[in-house]
């Protein structure tokens, strides 16, 4: 999603950005293979993509790719596509040392050394707390496991409803749950669903800190997304802790998330200009052989 959003925004700013799809390989084994396609089901229906293939010979397509600045996700090592320039976009905590000429961090909390930060929260129109009860007056609790199962044995908190990756089926249904949710017991410290919960006025509760500690998250774009840590029996307790402190955290994240969303186009332009300056060629210029 992030790479598709970046592609669309670069095109909106006057660049010529197309998409290549990973069709084979893995982070551990590498061996990645890539393909291009204009199949609409593979693209964001609201997105903007530069068509570098229609009416072009294989040689012309190869020339375009070979002259391009290729932006890779952090799971890919090196420059296997063979673009003239390359950038690595660190979209999560990398599992190996990033060796690249130009490094972009989705969050400054993910990696220590980077050239710039390009953060964008994904906010669905359904994720809001308008017309809802204050979280302290709600009666529904939810449990979310997600990637937490990769780190420890997880369980559903008694009395809560389990939210799964494939249920609810869409954001609208998830938002309906979150707008009625008090505690969102999350075993996954690195999921956008925690932000969704806060946007809906629910309180994410941290079940562990093995993925992402408060120290690592300190100073990140939205701060630490967990106003509360889990304590045994809190789901049955009438002691809701410091309501004022939780409300302050919710308000901060809601405000900063929407501010970051508004600033995304400006940040993408700054990113493109930084890459152009780094490699000393004009990304925004229609110069022969450059893209």
Q: Where are the beta strands (DSSP E) in 134-279?
A: 140-144, 161-163, 181-186, 203-206, 228-229
pLDDT at position 42: 93
Alpha-carbon distance 249 to 227, whole Å? Answer: 6
Flag residues of the chain having pLDDT under 70. 218-219, 281-291
Rounded Cα distance, 200 and 132, in Å:
8
Is the backbone peptide bond immediately before 44 cis, with ω within 30 degrees of 0? no
Q: At what angle do helices 192-199 and 243-279 cross, to 10 degrees?
A: 130
pLDDT at res. 285: 43
- At residue 108, the pLDDT reads 87
State the pTM of this model: 0.84
* C-alpha separations of 202 from 31, 125, 140, 195, 222 in Å: 42, 16, 10, 9, 16
pLDDT at position 211: 82
Q: Say if strands 140-144 and 181-186 run parallel, antiparallel, or are unpaired.
A: parallel
Give, for 265, the enclosing helix (H) or strand (E): helix 243-279
Residue 222: the pLDDT is 84
**CA separation for the pair 71, 88 (Å, rounded):** 6
Which of 8, 258, 251 minimizes the C-alpha distance to 121? 258
| Structure tokens that stand for 92 in this block | 């999560």
């Amino acid at each position: 999603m992030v790479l598709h959003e970046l592609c669309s925004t670069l095109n909106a700013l006057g660049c010529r950005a197309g998409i290549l799809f990973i069709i084979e390989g893995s982070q551990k084994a590498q061996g990645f293979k890539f393909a291009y396609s204009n199949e609409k089901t593979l693209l964001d229906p609201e997105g903007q993509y530069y068509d570098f293939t229609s009416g072009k010979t294989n040689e012309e397509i190869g020339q375009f790719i070979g002259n391009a600045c290729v932006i890779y996700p952090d799971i890919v090592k090196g420059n296997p596509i063979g673009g003239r320039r390359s950038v690595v976009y660190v979209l999560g905590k990398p599992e190996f040392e990033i060796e690249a000429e130009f490094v972009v961090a989705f969050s400054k909390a993910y990696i220590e050394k980077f050239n710039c930060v390009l953060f964008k929260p994904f906010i669905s129109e359904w994720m809001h707390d308008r017309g809802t009860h204050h979280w302290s007056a709600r009666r529904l609790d939810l449990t979310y496991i997600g990637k937490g199962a990769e780190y420890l044995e997880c369980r559903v908190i008694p009395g809560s409803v389990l939210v799964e990756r494939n249920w609810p089926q869409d954001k609208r249904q998830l938002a309906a749950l979150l707008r009625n949710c008090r505690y969102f017991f999350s075993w996954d410290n690195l999921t956008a669903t925690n932000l969704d919960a806060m946007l809906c006025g629910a309180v994410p509760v941290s079940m562990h800190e093995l993925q992402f500690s408060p120290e690592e998250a300190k100073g990140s774009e939205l701060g630490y997304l967990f106003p509360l840590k889990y304590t045994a029996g809190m789901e049955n307790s009438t002691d809701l802790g410091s309501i004022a402190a939780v409300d302050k955290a919710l308000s901060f994240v809601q405000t900063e998330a929407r501010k970051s969303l508004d600033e995304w186009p400006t940040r993408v332009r700054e990113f493109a200009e930084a890459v152009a300056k780094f490699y000393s060629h004009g990304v925004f210029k229609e110069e022969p052989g450059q893209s």
